[in-house]
Structure 1
């Protein structure tokens, strides 16, 4: 038990570093852990190494909302969340945004753990049918989002253009540098589509005084929002070829991110954690790896699923406390020059993309930023930009192309 607790605490520390540092993903930490796995296994054993990996993934999933909220830096799980979260920051309510997301994440863990246990039984039975239906489900989701919009023509065009960019990017992904195992085509794609346009068009002035006087959304509303978020995370974590960003797209079909900002943050917080946890069940049930952390598991003896879910729950409690602590420091940002801060963050994002993905990553970043400026210019929803991921997956599931 000592090995498990030590590994869990070590994983929480690693997840805190990766979650709070823009450009560093939990998969990068997992790649580093793989390099040091012989030493870790000799000291902590497979249970300790598993605890480190799971705790890193869970903690990162909690804390990634912090840079998304205060800096507008997107990650795979926060690409759409930065819109309501950062807007709340500009209203002086950044701490509230982080607290709501953390609470939604915690409920996502609570709701998903028992579902993950039951999934061990029904996933193997239903997987063949699910593989066939993936593309149809995504077409239904994107179609519902576009048709319900007042500017459906522009949204459809934006989705197609984003999809073409995604097809091009995934086709030539091998040109990335893949520095330290952290290079991913999603980094320049999501940064360009959701990060840089926001930073480049943000209003000038200073960050408003951050103050917290309680969350406006009630506890029951958080739970009601966490339920569809958990469902979206479960679906995306189960379906092949999808990511947390796709889950947030699915959530937006139930809860609009523009006029129900707090509910959306609670839902996406739940979807992110549900996606992470169901990935454990999918790996145990059918051996499929949904993220880099699970890929590392395939290299050594996997501990019992009950132990893995215990670590997930334990690290979630610690990560929730850390997230609330970080949110409490929001007042330190009051009065900072937002224009200078946005410029600094934008430059850092370009540098990080260049270092981790190389010249081709920078080319993709430029193209994605150009596409990402379209919603700003036309004042339309940014959700169809997720066509960059969904259209390649749809074509792959229909057997039209490979990823």
Structure 2
């Protein structure tokens, strides 16, 4: 059995690395690949090892998905907002530092996650009815904080509502996506347009600065504080229904101002993504709620022992941490690359991926999202207000309006 579990961790680590390094590919996609080979893998490895492989892929993805967002400015559903300060550091020649900050945030979150996992498992199920009822109200308060803390509340409200309308439309008609990657795959073109292509289209000329090899310049207390904030946000979205990692990052945005705390935001959002993976597992075990495609497959094949799958996830996290640091070394190859040419090349690649993964409807959402994503820079408000695309549908769903 030990050999099969180790094989499961290695398979999950490989798949999570691939999904994290390719923009637009989520761990859910890799879960689909495992499902396609399910009968053979179950016969060879057994259900516990396949379950560990699935969860390992999800955990490793939360580490490695910072690499394309940092170096190329292309987000996936989990890195939509953190791409902004991370890519900015890369444009200052500090891309490796941004990747290391992200890896540290995810790693430190593990120290906070385990106690929360036990608390969630044993104490929150009895309060779930009250939590569900207050979800919409809580998100409305958070949206208000997001808007009122901006430079121009009027324009921020307009961008928030505009992106929210686009999000409602995208989720309402997500069934038009022509592929089997699931309704949640509409997040790929939606967030790529809002936070990726719209930024790359305004890329300046010149060349990418030489990347300096350096460790993360952050104090231990600051690292723990920001990782703790991120873990808390990840805990909220990992347990509450209808929320995603993108929403967790939006929850953090009112606590940070642009500029000096960009590094803290990178740490916090990475911690939130990793914490969300583990506490989403807690929600599946305690409530039977499936927070993503990986959890759906886990429920289908039969949940392994919780201690076994958690141990596999921790081992995968260690692997993901090392792999992310190694990938961060790739920053040195970017020095001197023409910025505009690289931006256009990345736009072409992610547009092709959007078409392959989501079809014509996804392309329509991508174009609309890109147009909306250009608005914040025109009216001089923070791009985080575009998270209305995720928050507004969740609010309406929670209040039984949508």
Spell out, residue by residue over 1:291-350, the C-alpha distance to the aligned partner (whole angstroms, 9 max, x if none).
Answer: 110000111221111111111111101100000011112101111111111000001111
Gaps of 5+ in 2: none
Q: Give me the TM-score of the superposition, normalised by structure 2.
A: 0.97
Write the distance in 2 (CA, Å) between the matches of 1:394 and 1:103. 32
Structure 1 CA distance, aligned partners of 2:68 and 2:125? 37
1:61 aligns with 2:59: no
Q: Following superposition, which runs of at least 4 residues in structure 1 exceed 3 angstroms of deviation?
A: 179-183
Q: CA deviation at 1:42?
A: 1.0
Aligned mates of 2:332, 2:191 — CA distance in 1: 28
Residue range with higher mean Cα deviation, 107-116 or 158-167? 107-116
Distance (Å, rounded) in 2 between the aligned partners of 1:146 and 1:31: 38
CA contact (8 A) 1:178 1:184 kept: no
Corresponding residue for 2:91?
90
DSSP-derived class of the 1:299 partner: helix
The CA RMSD measured in Å over matched residues stands at 1.2
For the residue of structure 2 that corresponds to 1:23, the secondary structure is coil
Corresponding residue of 1:202: 203
Q: Which residue of 1 aligns with 2:278?
A: 277
**Cα distance in 1 between the residues matched to 2:346 and 2:396:** 35
Residue 309 (structure 1) aligns with? 310
- Tell me the TM-score normalised to structure 1 length: 0.97
Residue range with higher mean Cα deviation, 366-375 or 106-115? 106-115
Matched residue SS, 1:211: coil
CA distance in 1, matches of 2:218, 2:203: 26
Give the length in aligned residue pairs.
401
Q: For residue 219 of structure 2, what is the aligned residue in structure 1?
A: 218
SS of match in other structure, 2:185: coil
Closer/same/farther in 2, CA of residues 181 and 145 from structure 1, 3 Å limit: closer
Alignment of 1:3-402 (within 5 A): 3-179=4-180, 184-401=185-402
Q: Distance in 2 between matches of 1:181 and 1:153?
A: 35
Cα distance between partner residues in 2 of 1:282 and 1:179: 25
> 1:98-146 deviations in whole A, cap 9, x for unaligned?
0001000001122112211221111311111111011011001110111
Q: Shift of residue 180 of structure 1? A: 5.3
In 2, Cα distance between equivalents of 1:180 and 1:237: 21
Which 5+ residue runs of structure 1 have no aligned equivalent?
none
Contact between 2:94 and 2:214, CA under 8 Å: does it hold in 1? no
Question: Which deviations, in whole Å up to 9, do the C-alpha atoms of 1:236-295 show, x marking residues without a partner?
Answer: 111111100110111112223443111100101100001111011000001000011000
The answer on whether the counterparts of 1:123 and 1:282 sit within 8 Å (CA) in structure 2 is no
The alpha-carbon distance between structure 1 residues 5 and 114, as it changes in their structure 2 partners (threshold 3 A), is farther
CA contact 2:211–2:335 (8 Å) conserved in 1:
yes
Task: Give distance in 1, aligned partners of 2:342 and 2:265.
Answer: 26
